[in-house]
Amino acid sequence: MPKILVLNGPNLNLLGRREPEIYGKETLADVEQRLRRWGETAGVKIEMRQSNHEGDLIDWLHEADATADGVILNPGGLTHSSVSLGDAVAGIATPVVEVHISNVFAREPFRAHSHVSRAAIGVISGLGIEGYVLAARALLDRIRREQEKG
């Protein structure tokens, strides 16, 4: 069974309470529930983690290279400031899809730059928490194509 690791960065533990006009009223638990339901239907194991600490995310990305078939990463504010997080994504073979709940390109200009995007296989931005499911579908398609290649 394919495994997708879902990593959420700083402040995403406040999802549903923090700036609901930007991020919506759904919580991280709602994201997890939606992904787990999708995973049960698609035959994919979903593991979800959140940390407000950059080093945790980097360690989990390194670990994912040996334990996961794909990663969904919402780096939060680290997107725009963490060269190290971008380097961690670039340093692993496991495919990573970068996800943002809000449309970062329609917000403050500094949010339009990502240190992660250069190494991610794709970016989903501005589609709310549905972006996580879209990322999971894209990863599963890629995993299956790779398995067919053998």
Query: Looking at residue 73, what DSSP letter applies?
Result: E
**Cβ(8)–Cβ(28) below 8 Å:** yes
- Give the span between the Cα atoms of 124 and 51, in whole angstroms: 20
Amino acid at 117: S
* Strand order across the beta sheet in which 3-8 lies: 45-50, 3-8, 70-74, 96-100, 122-125
- Give the span between the Cα atoms of 139 and 72, in whole angstroms: 8
Catalytic center residues? 23, 100
